[in-house]
Amino acid sequence: MSNRVACEGQSSQYNRAHKVQQKERTAPAPITTVSGPARRVVVTGIGAITPIGVGVDGLREGLRNGRSAVKTVTSFDTSHFATHIAADVEGFDMTPFLNGKKSKRLDRFSQFAVSAARMAIADAELNLDSADRDRIGICLGTALGGISFAEQQFPGYALKGPRGVNPMLALSVFSGAGSCNIAIELGISGPATANGDSCAASPIAIGHAMDFIRDGTADVMLAGGAEAPLSSLCYGAFAIIHAMSTRNDDPTTASRPFDRERDGFVMAEGAAILVLEELNHAKLRGARIYGEILAHACTNDAFHMTQPRPDGTQAARCMRECLSRGGVDPAEVGYINAHGSSTPLNDSTETNAIKQVFKEGAYALAISGTKGYHGHALGATGAWEAAISLLAIHDRWLPPTLNLSNPDPICDLDYIAEPDGRDRKVDKVLSNSFGFGGINACLLFGRV
């Protein structure tokens, strides 16, 4: 059977099944919600797939355990590179979220996206069968999308030509595949968008989702990021430019944000999806609320593709605009989840930017960078950190910065070095994400 016939056969089978699903749906009972500029956006569900734990409780437990998930790469050959470490999602079982036939249609990036979305829906206790699916949408961020799957297909192409390529390749490689697969698998037909804004992709997606709810386009949005970059070409691309840590002999201490001996980030994989809801919509169904999204902002350094702007002015402007849009004075912020990539330039520049915004108050702020736990999953990491920021509000506990054993004198703020974290009630939390190309993105969360 040719690849074209096989692909068309799969499409025909899916179309027939999808029509049956559409017929089985009943008209939902509408929920009356607030309209206009007063619409507030809250988070009622978290779905997380991370190297330190799966699910919101797995993420909680991983943070409390205080252990790094970074280890030596064994899934592909890294001998050509100076870096040999990463943080993968070991032994992830997708069968509760995707049946065997469906999982074979999706590459790992989309498998992560769909699984995290299902987790988030379950955590939010959102009954899709009684919901207006036209009023539910998706915004997903990713840096590389399905590029790793394309890399896996190349040997087959080199050996057999087009006949050696999986016919799903064209439907898997683009960055919108994750959001579209979520829409198809869950049958939700509101706005479905994706962006490829490097390491700032998922907070930008969460911000766009917030806007869809605020402007009345949707009542519920799934938003976050997914990334599956652990393959030799994707991994090697970052190794070649010396962006990653070479602390190969001691992987668990390789990612060390704000430490004097930091030497680069550690690549990771995974996903996180949040359920965003209009506040009245959430209250009417009795939903548990983690926190409110008060504002988002985005700027660009307009300086360099890999190096942050040395004076940190655009990162500072991003934080300042986020606070302004949320109507929050800097003195009200109780915690910052920092980008803290563990690269020499980023961490010092972020420290400088925080000082510009918070002035002397910067020294009283509790700040931590959690990449020492879970590494850096590029476009998905900001969604992990958004989830961690919301848990900080909900659980009244601030995670530490792992491996901060020798603080850099330039990074002289309170980066929560104590290994057990800090019990503290905070009402306003700022989350920073800075990416290649000079993209700066910030999210501001508050207690409801």
pLDDT of residue 332: 98
Closest CA to 258 of 334, 352, 330: 352
pLDDT of residue 3: 39
Say whether both 275 and 310 belong to one domain: no
Say whether both 278 and 303 belong to one domain: no
Say whether both 247 and 305 belong to one domain: no
User: In the structure, what pLDDT confidence band is assigned to residue 35 with cuts at 50, 70 and 90?
Assistant: very low
Residues 408-442: b if buried by 16+ CB within 10 A, e if exposed: beebebebbeeeebbeeebebbbbbbbbbbbbbbb
Catalytic residue among 376, 394, 411, 442: 376
Per DSSP, what are the bridge partners of residue 367?
Answer: 336
pLDDT of residue 15: 43
Is 22 inside any structural domain? no
pLDDT at 32 over 50: no
C-alpha span between 392 and 53 (Å, rounded)? 17
Say whether both 275 and 371 belong to one domain: no
**Which token pair is 358?**
């918070």
**Which token pair is 231?**
């393959």
pLDDT at 9 over 60: no
Give me the residue label for tokens 């590494």.
Answer: 375
Domain boundaries, position 411: 295-446
Is 5 inside any structural domain? no
Which range is least confidently modeled, 124-128, 164-168, 278-282?
A: 164-168
Give residues with Cβ within 8 angstroms of 349, minimum separation 6: 308, 309, 310, 312, 315
Say whether both 251 and 300 belong to one domain: no
Could you give phi then psi for residue 53, rounded to 5 degrees?
165, 150
Say whether both 213 and 305 belong to one domain: no
Is 203 inside any structural domain? yes
Is 376 annotated in the active site? yes
Give residues with Cβ within 8 angstroms of 108, minimum separation 6: 148, 149, 228, 269
Give me the residue label for tokens 């996903």.
Answer: 271
Provide the sign of the torsion angle of the four alpha carbons 303, 309, 310, 312, taken in this order.
positive
Closest CA to 227 of 368, 375, 335: 375
Mean pLDDT of 71-77: 97
Last residue of a domain, one of 284, 316, 335: 284
For the question of whether the overall pTM of this predicted structure is more than 0.85, the answer is: yes
Catalytic residue among 139, 180, 199, 234: 199
C-alpha span between 423 and 37 (Å, rounded)? 35
Is 9 inside any structural domain? no
Give me the residue label for tokens 């190096």.
Answer: 307
Is 199 annotated in the active site? yes
Residues 29-52: b if buried by 16+ CB within 10 A, e if exposed: eebebeeeeebbbbbbbbbbbbbb
Last residue of a domain, one of 239, 263, 284: 284
C-alpha span between 354 and 87 (Å, rounded)? 28
Say whether both 226 and 100 belong to one domain: yes
**Which token pair is 344?**
């020499």
C-alpha span between 224 and 203 (Å, rounded)? 7
Last residue of a domain, one of 230, 257, 284: 284
pLDDT of residue 38: 76
Per the structure, the count of domains in the chain is 2
CATH code assigned at 280? 3.40.47.10
User: In the structure, what pLDDT confidence band is assigned to residue 37 with cuts at 50, 70 and 90?
Assistant: low
Cα Rg, the chain, nearest whole Å: 21
Catalytic residue among 84, 296, 339, 394: 339
C-alpha span between 106 and 271 (Å, rounded)? 15
Say whether both 146 and 165 belong to one domain: yes
Count CA atoms closer than 13 A to 227's CA, side-chain side: 35
Say whether both 267 and 404 belong to one domain: no
**Which token pair is 118?**
């299902």
Closest CA to 67 of 89, 91, 51, 79: 51
Closest CA to 44 of 214, 335, 279: 279
Say whether both 370 and 222 belong to one domain: no
Say whether both 259 and 351 belong to one domain: no
